Chain A
């Protein structure tokens, strides 16, 4: 377990900023408890400091997991977000898309979201922007990237793709083996 290097931090935060924007500061400077990011076996974890201190006494090889996993660095140095960070993304999301109940399942199976399935969208969402998806009851069900801005969405036909799939809650079942 170690701190993120400067380069890693840059890559990681750029990814996060795509979804939660400036709210990233709220994630780091929490009022209730100090939290931090740690790398363990290429995976980035969001841990409170108490747990982190305790985990320091565990040898690196035997430490399986700690805190909340946000994602992992690939071998080429890119960062991939994991579905486990959804709670935090949902809380601080800048742009949101609500999914209609009938196309929820389709999304959970890993498909992209069509215009027909979009229940609501935040005003002024630009194109190619990271968004968090919610069911109509405000339950987060994944995140993705928009293909069109809100303005353009108005004119689209129902079969056009609106949000590209990145992660969905269905992965908890599908990728159960590799997730943790």
Chain B
């Protein structure tokens, strides 16, 4: 076998080369599968072999590969025989020459026929049958051909006046003779095509059936297998039994492959291609599912089938199948990985597995089996991880190459050749691979090779593709939420994330930092100084456990010492075995976690104050601030204050920073009571943003921060508190009602704590410090007592039902307020309670009470029912009508209105008479106007008449064209026209 040598060389080259080409990679993987037995070297991967691998997925799995070699040889022989047969019947796909010629024919034929067809249309009408056939053929033909022909049409003339030289030379007779032949050829080809397709589909179906049969057979075998217990022998048997089936299948799939080969040259319709592709995917799916379910049925015995899935996954040319393979492998591993970490014995156990019988350490049979299984599992898992990493590398390389290629402006289509995938497909594959890695990490964080998964997932959490990074981040969050390793994995992830953040120069997705918020630290955690030395207690604790103090040791007798030693050993073993993490261990781990979280935070604060993640960092700090130790307090406050001075630009950042500062100061305030003035002025100056609609979500945060700053202890200057109250009250005018309500109740809360501030409600004009400066940035200098809290009076008549009682109580200015406050909800609670951000009314609108008439009607009905219980049926038939007039005097509304109307009638002038008067007046006016007009007309008419008479006397005037008129005057029509003209003049 020359292929073997080639492959071997290739493999060598591949291992040397940094970038692994696709085929080489395949070889490598095959080599990985076959490792252990060096007898068989992987063959060179040809298409046949790929098919072979695909088809023999069940058969290949035995460890003994000599059989395979034999089988392949056999197969090849049989294949060749089959090919010869195929050549007789089908168009041969293997022999390229014949195929090419055929293809040429196919390409040329339609043109010829069409030419003939067109000629016929013009000249020979008698051969209708032929024509029909042609039309049918044309319909069968691929549309691309048709398109091609139509493009050529204009060149030829249908009438036959202008013809190409070649066509002119052909006489109609010759054409007649030629045509049937062509048609025959055409039909033959077509039928061949159809036949082939049909056969292919049939074969596929057959193959499917056979596979099913095979599977059933295997099932039977498995049952037998259960009786015997040695795997490998059975596998061999199975292989031999399956041999025939496999051969058949192989041939068929070769045929299918042939179809694939021809598809490049031969025009195949899109639909067919699609169908074929679908079929392939479907078969792969069924294969995968079968294998996977087999493995899951009995993982200890059937673990070798993982190899087959690998084979499908690696050898498949189809990206979807590849993806499916990767995913199903991931799922299988997820299910079969045990709930403990596998302890790897170096040397012995692997030796045992390979040689089968060499045993240095004696174990019971069961343990031995379990060990073997574990070793296999480990091996496969490792291979899988290697595969994942390689795939990621390939994908990234391809994407890089693509981007480079795009820059050099090559045609994109050149990338989508056979065996290569488009850039998007690589992206998809990458996503799936990372999905597998992430799910494995989350579901089995305790298992071996965790670090690899952690690095993959953290690395891709900052990947530029949003889908990938989102996936990673969500999985990291899941891991933080439910870490079964007691925090070890989380610690690893956190450290990795901080490294990744460093690498990306802190310009990364803030969601990654936000995942820290999910972390939960229990009470065991000690206060943390991230820049301090690591907690040595744990290490020292471990040492102490093993040693006794000298004094104690001296006191012990010889026997006691022995016993003590034994006990110690036992304890140690027990500890190792116990799945529960001791409190000290947990304390250590959690402290370390917290420390690395803080370290990440402060790195970002100090080195990248303009990072996008700043908001998340400050949020996280605010959340975990109670874990910061006293030693670090000073440094932290310094870092924060520089941040506050220069870099904080948004309100939430300012609020979060001040929450952090105030919380820590409050926690460690006993050392020194400090006044955090910078924070006050920063928050004060930025608080105005709260009124913006875009900042509404900050409201709760702001209320919490202000509560912490002002409401906790009674130590802020009154002026400052008043300034804050005034500013917050101004803001409350432009916030939604629930926020306003929360703010008002917060003001009330402050009034209780600082009773002196209440004088801001009433301004008696005696303040001499100056005017109120609402636009100044320092709360200490804005003179809040120069103004009053007029804003609250707006809430006196607010439409929101919950606001005005609170506003009234706030303005009530009484000392009992302190008693009332204790029973009420805190401002943030109120904010949530009346939240209307999801639409609707909160509290809901009250349904108005029933109209008194309705109530009355109900009463009447009831009374009647009670009184005339006997005539109940009668009453039901007679409906009760309530006559409004009878209720008229009892409705307060109606009486009110009638009263008002009566009063009005009495007091005012009656309008009716006024209107009639007006009408009369207008009529008179109209009449008088008409009269005047008529008089004018009369005068003019008489004048004209006189003129006419005069002219008639002197000269007979030429007659002028007369215009018709529509004036509704009462004078006679004959005189009208002349009159009109004269008026115009």
Whether A123 and B675, one on each chain, are in contact in the complex, defined by CB atoms closer than 8 angstroms, is: yes
Which chain A residues border B780 with CB–CB below 8 Å? 91-92
**In chain B between 446 and 480, which residues have their CB closer than 8 angstroms to a CB of chain A?**
none
Whether A123 and B770, one on each chain, are in contact in the complex, defined by CB atoms closer than 8 angstroms, is: no
- Taken together as a complex, chains A and B put the C-alpha atoms of A119 and B641 apart, in Å, by 22
Whether B677 and A154, one on each chain, are in contact in the complex, defined by CB atoms closer than 8 angstroms, is: no
The verdict on A122 contacting B675 (CB below 8 Å), with A138-B717, A138-B718 known, is yes
Whether B641 and A31, one on each chain, are in contact in the complex, defined by CB atoms closer than 8 angstroms, is: no
**Who on chain B is nearest to A95 by CB?**
B677
- Taken together as a complex, chains A and B put the C-alpha atoms of A154 and B634 apart, in Å, by 9
**In chain B between 668 and 726, which residues have their CB closer than 8 angstroms to a CB of chain A?**
671-679, 715, 717-718
**Who on chain B is nearest to A30 by CB?**
B770
Which chain B residues border A173 with CB–CB below 8 Å? none
The verdict on A121 contacting B769 (CB below 8 Å), with A91-B781, A138-B717 known, is no
Which chain A residues border B637 with CB–CB below 8 Å? 123
- Taken together as a complex, chains A and B put the C-alpha atoms of A123 and B677 apart, in Å, by 7
- Taken together as a complex, chains A and B put the C-alpha atoms of A30 and B671 apart, in Å, by 40
- Could you tell me the distance in whole angstroms from the C-beta of B881 to the nearest C-beta in chain A? 74
B773 at the interface (CB under 8 A from A): yes
- Could you tell me the distance in whole angstroms from the C-beta of B64 to the nearest C-beta in chain A? 76
A96 at the interface (CB under 8 A from B): yes
Which chain B residues border A30 with CB–CB below 8 Å? 770
Whether A119 and B673, one on each chain, are in contact in the complex, defined by CB atoms closer than 8 angstroms, is: yes
A39 at the interface (CB under 8 A from B): no
- Could you tell me the distance in whole angstroms from the C-beta of A23 to the nearest C-beta in chain B? 6
B66 at the interface (CB under 8 A from A): no
- Taken together as a complex, chains A and B put the C-alpha atoms of A98 and B773 apart, in Å, by 26
- Taken together as a complex, chains A and B put the C-alpha atoms of A103 and B679 apart, in Å, by 28
A147 at the interface (CB under 8 A from B): no
- Could you tell me the distance in whole angstroms from the C-beta of B675 to the nearest C-beta in chain A? 4
Find B672's partner among A92, A136, A138, A153 (CB 8 Å cutoff): A153
B771 at the interface (CB under 8 A from A): yes
**In chain B between 568 and 619, which residues have their CB closer than 8 angstroms to a CB of chain A?**
none
Interface size on B, residues (CB 8 A): 23
Which chain B residues border A119 with CB–CB below 8 Å? 673
Contact with B along A80-119 (1 / 0, CB 8 A): 0000000000011000101000000000000000000011
Number of A-B contacts (CB under 8 A): 54
Which chain B residues border A154 with CB–CB below 8 Å? 634, 671-672
- Taken together as a complex, chains A and B put the C-alpha atoms of A31 and B598 apart, in Å, by 47
- Taken together as a complex, chains A and B put the C-alpha atoms of A96 and B717 apart, in Å, by 11
Q: For chain A, what secondary structure do more than half of its interface residues adopt (helix, strand, loop), or is it mixed?
A: mixed
A6 at the interface (CB under 8 A from B): no
Whether B634 and A31, one on each chain, are in contact in the complex, defined by CB atoms closer than 8 angstroms, is: no
**Who on chain B is nearest to A93 by CB?**
B780
**In chain A between 33 and 88, which residues have their CB closer than 8 angstroms to a CB of chain B?**
none
Whether A91 and B672, one on each chain, are in contact in the complex, defined by CB atoms closer than 8 angstroms, is: no
**In chain A between 1 and 53, which residues have their CB closer than 8 angstroms to a CB of chain B?**
23, 26, 30-32
Whether A120 and B718, one on each chain, are in contact in the complex, defined by CB atoms closer than 8 angstroms, is: no
**Who on chain B is nearest to A23 by CB?**
B781
A176 at the interface (CB under 8 A from B): no
**Who on chain B is nearest to A88 by CB?**
B769
Find B673's partner among A26, A91, A120 (CB 8 Å cutoff): A120
A124 at the interface (CB under 8 A from B): yes
- Taken together as a complex, chains A and B put the C-alpha atoms of A123 and B680 apart, in Å, by 11
Find A123's partner among B674, B717, B781 (CB 8 Å cutoff): B674
Which chain B residues border A91 with CB–CB below 8 Å? 769, 780-781
- Taken together as a complex, chains A and B put the C-alpha atoms of A23 and B677 apart, in Å, by 15
Task: Name the residue among B638, B677, B773 with the largest chain A CB count within 10 angstroms.
Answer: B677
Task: Name the residue among B634, B672, B676, B718 with the largest chain A CB count within 10 angstroms.
Answer: B672
- Taken together as a complex, chains A and B put the C-alpha atoms of A124 and B770 apart, in Å, by 29
Task: Name the residue among A96, A124, A138, A154 with the largest chain B CB count within 10 angstroms.
Answer: A124
**Who on chain B is nearest to A156 by CB?**
B672
- Taken together as a complex, chains A and B put the C-alpha atoms of A98 and B717 apart, in Å, by 11
- Taken together as a complex, chains A and B put the C-alpha atoms of A154 and B672 apart, in Å, by 6
**Who on chain B is nearest to A120 by CB?**
B673
A129 at the interface (CB under 8 A from B): no
Whether B770 and A121, one on each chain, are in contact in the complex, defined by CB atoms closer than 8 angstroms, is: no
Whether A121 and B673, one on each chain, are in contact in the complex, defined by CB atoms closer than 8 angstroms, is: yes
Which chain B residues border A31 with CB–CB below 8 Å? 770-771, 773
The verdict on A123 contacting B771 (CB below 8 Å), with A26-B781, A150-B672, A154-B671 known, is no
Which chain A residues border B771 with CB–CB below 8 Å? 31-32
Whether B715 and A123, one on each chain, are in contact in the complex, defined by CB atoms closer than 8 angstroms, is: no
Which chain A residues border B769 with CB–CB below 8 Å? 91
Task: Name the residue among A30, A96, A119, A154 with the largest chain B CB count within 10 angstroms.
Answer: A154
- Taken together as a complex, chains A and B put the C-alpha atoms of A144 and B638 apart, in Å, by 24
- Could you tell me the distance in whole angstroms from the C-beta of B107 to the nearest C-beta in chain A? 86
- Could you tell me the distance in whole angstroms from the C-beta of B117 to the nearest C-beta in chain A? 96
Whether A123 and B676, one on each chain, are in contact in the complex, defined by CB atoms closer than 8 angstroms, is: yes
Which chain B residues border A136 with CB–CB below 8 Å? 715
The verdict on A151 contacting B677 (CB below 8 Å), with A31-B770, A32-B770, A123-B641 known, is no
Which chain A residues border B715 with CB–CB below 8 Å? 98, 120, 136
- Taken together as a complex, chains A and B put the C-alpha atoms of A96 and B637 apart, in Å, by 18
Which chain A residues border B679 with CB–CB below 8 Å? 123
Which chain B residues border A23 with CB–CB below 8 Å? 778, 781
Whether B675 and A121, one on each chain, are in contact in the complex, defined by CB atoms closer than 8 angstroms, is: yes
- Taken together as a complex, chains A and B put the C-alpha atoms of A120 and B641 apart, in Å, by 18
Whether B678 and A123, one on each chain, are in contact in the complex, defined by CB atoms closer than 8 angstroms, is: yes
- Taken together as a complex, chains A and B put the C-alpha atoms of A95 and B139 apart, in Å, by 94
Find B674's partner among A26, A32, A120, A138 (CB 8 Å cutoff): A120
- Could you tell me the distance in whole angstroms from the C-beta of B313 to the nearest C-beta in chain A? 62
Contact with A along B755-775 (1 / 0, CB 8 A): 000000000000001110100
- Could you tell me the distance in whole angstroms from the C-beta of B56 to the nearest C-beta in chain A? 76
Please name 20 pairs of A and B residues whose Cβ atoms are closer than 8 Å in the assembled complex, sorted by A: A31-B770, A31-B771, A32-B771, A91-B769, A98-B673, A98-B715, A118-B673, A120-B673, A120-B675, A121-B672, A121-B673, A121-B674, A122-B674, A123-B637, A123-B678, A124-B641, A138-B718, A153-B672, A154-B634, A154-B671
**6 closest Cβ contacts across the A-B interface?**
A120-B673, A123-B674, A122-B675, A31-B771, A123-B676, A154-B672
Given contacts A23-B778, A123-B675, 14 further A-B pairs with CB under 8 A are A31-B773, A91-B780, A120-B673, A120-B674, A120-B715, A121-B673, A121-B674, A122-B674, A122-B675, A123-B676, A123-B678, A124-B678, A151-B634, A154-B634
